[in-house]
């Protein structure tokens, strides 16, 4: 410890020398985690072979050292360097992953931790040659929530996708209600290093109720954006791809059928299956059911466009699509038109990518729209919540069921503690628990927004309501797990259908 404190004194003394930074690469590339009792992972990128120090402090700078205005408080330097991995030498790969343990101290709940790394001269370990970008993150008690800063634009009925560096792309949506949305071209990026939403170039096409599919396994972490309703409330056939390197949207082939309210999922081979939706605008459930589509399309990266896919057994507006461990896709629920009437779908279909066809429809225990499907660690799929009953007078349900891939059947499961639809869900990495966030109940035309959170435990098969709630009630929000159990909640609609202007963080494990 004495040597570390003497180094701090040396750095402070050398501040008068004003050594300039070199122009080479050295950065905090991304961050993960932040749950107290867990850990935070700091990913450093830089040139191999140079000594580094990663400094963490609960108070920000600036602190002037050797010509650098560091964004951290150097009085915490000795504590920082006493943690394994906070100091060392950049490996030959040029990437260093620092695991910082976080004690379960509730007094630190909601506190900000500021981070910055400095690189030292290999021939003179008391001389700084480069300072990294500054970063900070929020600490949170296990199962707690904390609000983020403001969105850059109204994000009602937007979509979100996780991309490289654990960033989140939020695009489209704008304003309006679920039955009367107004599309937007706006987009923004959540950066976990600054815990802020940053504006990025707009899409070329306004859209709401569209799909966004991360293409990380085949296309350098790009995102396919397809379909939706435009600002003039016309169905959209245009598709585009967000490229994170350069932060631009580029064109790709159009959908053959303009659609919105569809599902999209990336297949194991990198193609994207687009399923159902509606082909004409409709501001009532009956109108959307009559406009529902049974067609599917497949985006193929080899020629950057869409091909016709197989037909569903019946049209579906608002279905869910879940990739199974086998590479097949489970499609559940939605809204359809049967025998001259709108009904909620009480069947599921499985797409066999190898055969390029849908298998025989499978009966579900509950007809659903606005529900969630989550693949569990054992490969089964949890189906929860949604609107059910008569389309003329729908009600939110707390009922859940589990799809068993071995028998291609659904079995009833324990109900949620509260009926909810239009909610978000995410599977947590530790134990495979599923968190259900917000949602709505009451009237489907103007749902009462919920602020409650529930947790499903696969080991017990039971749901429990958490004592912690969202800071803002919301439905139709984006919910994504970003690594190490940290979940971001974006946008959505609150009371009176007003767009939510800030996001929230949920701290799991």
Q: What whole-number distance in Å separates Cα of residue 204 and Cα of residue 450?
A: 33
Residue located via tokens 């082939």: 253
Summarize the confidence of residues 92-116 as an average pLDDT.
93
3 state DSSP class of 30: strand
Give the pLDDT mean for 158-169.
92
Is pLDDT above 80 for 495? yes
Q: Using alpha carbons, list the distances in angstroms from residue 25 to 53, 62, 66, 133.
A: 15, 22, 19, 11
DSSP H stretches of helix in 52-185: 77-81
Written in H, E and C, the secondary structure of 277-337 is: CECCCCCCHHHHHHCECCCEEEEECCCCEEEECCCCCCCCECCEEEECCCCCEEEECCEEE
% of the chain at pLDDT higher than 70 = 94
pLDDT at 11 over 80: no
Question: Is-contact 480 488, C-beta < 8 A?
Answer: yes
Q: Would you say residue 12 has pLDDT above 60?
A: no
Lowest mean pLDDT among 73-82, 239-248, 472-481: 73-82
Question: pLDDT confidence of 163, banded at 50, 70, 90?
Answer: very high
pLDDT of residue 7: 36
Confidence tier at 217 by pLDDT (50, 70, 90)? low
183 closest CA partner among 223, 213, 154: 154
- Domains of the chain plus CATH, in order, are 2-138 (2.20.130.20), 150-254 (2.120.10.80)
User: Which pLDDT band holds residue 442 (cuts at 50, 70, 90)?
Assistant: very high
- What's the confidence (pLDDT) of residue 331? 98
The residue assigned the tokens 């695991």 is 99
Q: What is the rounded average pLDDT of the residues 164-168? A: 90
Q: Is the pLDDT of residue 5 over 50?
A: no
pLDDT bucket at 220, cuts 50 / 70 / 90: low
Strand partners, 307: 298
Cα separation, 220 vs 301, in Å, equals: 12
Range name among 154-163, 440-449, 455-464 with the lowest pLDDT average: 154-163
**pLDDT of res. 78:** 77
Q: How confident is the model over 55-64, as pLDDT tens digits? A: 999 999 899 8
Tens of pLDDT, residue by residue over 408-431, are 999 999 999 999 999 999 999 989
pLDDT interval class at 15 (50, 70, 90): very low
Of 150, 200, 154, 208, nearest to 181 by C-alpha is 208
pLDDT at 196: 96
Q: Minimal CA–CA distance to 154: which of 492, 483, 443, 467?
A: 492
pLDDT band at 321 (very low <50, low <70, confident <90, very high): very high
What's the confidence (pLDDT) of residue 219? 62
The stretches of 64-110 forming alpha helices (DSSP H) are 77-81
Distance CA(55)–CA(77), nearest Å, equals: 6
User: Between 82 and 159, whose confidence is greater?
Assistant: 159
Q: How far is CA 277 from the centre of its chain?
A: 22
Residue 231: is the preceding peptide bond cis (ω within 30°)? no
- Three-state DSSP class for 196? strand
Arithmetic mean of pLDDT, 251-262? 98
Element (H, E) at 3: helix 2-14
Give counts: helices (H), strands (E), the chain. 3, 47
How many residues does the structure list for the chain? Answer: 509
Inter-residue contact 166 to 30 (CB < 8 Å): yes
Residue 77's pLDDT is 79
pLDDT given for residue 25 in this prediction? 81
Q: Is residue 18 pLDDT above 60, yes or no?
A: no
Q: How confident is the model at residue 1 (pLDDT cuts 50, 70, 90)?
A: very low
Give 295-318 pLDDT, tens digit per residue: 999 999 999 999 999 999 999 999
pTM: 0.92
Q: Which two tokens stand for residue 14?
A: 């050398």
Are 269 and 284 in contact by the 8 Å Cβ rule? The answer is: no
Q: pLDDT at residue 447 above 70?
A: yes
Calculate mean pLDDT across residues 493-505: 93
Percent of the chain with pLDDT over 90: 82
pLDDT at 223 over 60: yes
Average pLDDT over residues 34-52: 93
Query: Does pLDDT of 165 surpass 70?
Result: yes
Are 334 and 316 in contact by the 8 Å Cβ rule? The answer is yes
Q: How many CB atoms lie within 10 A of CB 403?
A: 25
Q: pLDDT at position 84, please?
A: 80
If pLDDT is split at 50, 70 and 90, which confidence band does 126 have?
confident
Residues 7-19, mean pLDDT to the nearest whole number: 35
Task: Mean pLDDT check: name the lowest of 11-15, 168-172, 261-265.
Answer: 11-15
CB distance 361 to 331 below 8 Å: no
Average confidence score pLDDT of the chain: 92
Residue whose entry in the numeric block shows the structure tokens 């101290």: 105
Find the mean pLDDT for residues 114-118.
94
């Amino acid at each position: 410890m004495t040597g570390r404190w003497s180094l701090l004194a040396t750095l402070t003394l050398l501040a008068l020398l004003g050594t300039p930074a070199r122009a080479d690469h050295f950065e905090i590339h991304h961050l993960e985690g932040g749950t107290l009792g867990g850990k935070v992972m700091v990913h450093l990128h830089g040139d191999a072979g140079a000594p580094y120090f990663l400094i963490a402090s609960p108070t920000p700078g600036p602190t002037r050292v050797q010509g650098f205005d560091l964004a951290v408080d150097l009085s915490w330097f000795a504590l920082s360097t006493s943690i394994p991995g906070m100091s060392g030498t950049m490996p030959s790969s040029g990437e260093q992953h620092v695991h910082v343990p976080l004690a379960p101290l509730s007094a630190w709940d909601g506190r900000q931790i500021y981070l910055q790394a400095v690189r030292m001269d290999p021939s003179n370990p008391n001389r700084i040659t480069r300072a990294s970008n500054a970063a900070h993150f929020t600490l949170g008690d296990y199962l707690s929530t904390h609000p983020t800063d403001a969105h850059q634009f109204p994000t009602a009925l937007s979509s979100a996708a996780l991309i490289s560096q654990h960033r989140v792309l939020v695009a489209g949506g704008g304003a309006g209600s679920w039955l009367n949305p107004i599309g937007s071209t706006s987009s923004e990026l959540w950066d976990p290093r600054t815990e802020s939403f940053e504006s990025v170039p707009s899409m070329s096409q306004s859209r709401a109720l569209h799909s966004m599919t991360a293409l990380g396994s085949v296309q350098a972490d790009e995102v396919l954006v397809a379909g939706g309703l435009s600002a003039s409330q016309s169905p959209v056939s245009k598709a585009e791809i967000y490229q994170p390197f350069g932060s631009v949207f580029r064109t790709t082939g159009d959908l053959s059928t303009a659609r919105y309210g569809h599902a999209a999922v990336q297949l194991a081979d990198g193609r994207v299956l687009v399923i159902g939706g509606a082909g004409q605008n409709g501001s009532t459930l009956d109108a959307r059911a009559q406009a529902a589509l049974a067609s599917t399309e497949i985006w193929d990266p080899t020629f950057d466009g869409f091909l016709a896919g197989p037909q569903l057994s019946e049209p579906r507006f608002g279905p869910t699509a879940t990739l199974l461990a086998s590479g097949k896709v489970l499609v559940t629920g939605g809204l359809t038109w049967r025998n001259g009437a709108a009904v909620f779908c009480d069947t599921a279909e499985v797409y066999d990518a190898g055969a390029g066809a849908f298998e025989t429809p499978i009966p579900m225990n509950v007809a659903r729209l606005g529900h969630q499907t989550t693949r569990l660690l054992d490969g089964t799929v949890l189906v929860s919540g949604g609107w059910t009953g008569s389309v003329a007078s729908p009600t939110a349900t707390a009922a859940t069921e589990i799809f068993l891939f071995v028998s291609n059947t659904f079995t009833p499961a324990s109900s949620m503690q509260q009926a909810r639809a239009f909610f978000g869900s995410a599977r947590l990495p530790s134990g495979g628990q599923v968190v259900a966030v917000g949602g709505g109940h009451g009237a489907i035309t103007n749902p009462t927004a919920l602020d409650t959170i529930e947790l499903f435990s696969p080991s017990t098969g039971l749901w429990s309501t958490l004592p912690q709630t969202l800071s803002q009630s919301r439905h139709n929000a984006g919910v994504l797990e970003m690594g190490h159990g940290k979940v971001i909640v974006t946008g959505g609609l609150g009371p009176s259908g007003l767009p939510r202007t800030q996001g929230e963080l949920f701290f799991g494990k």
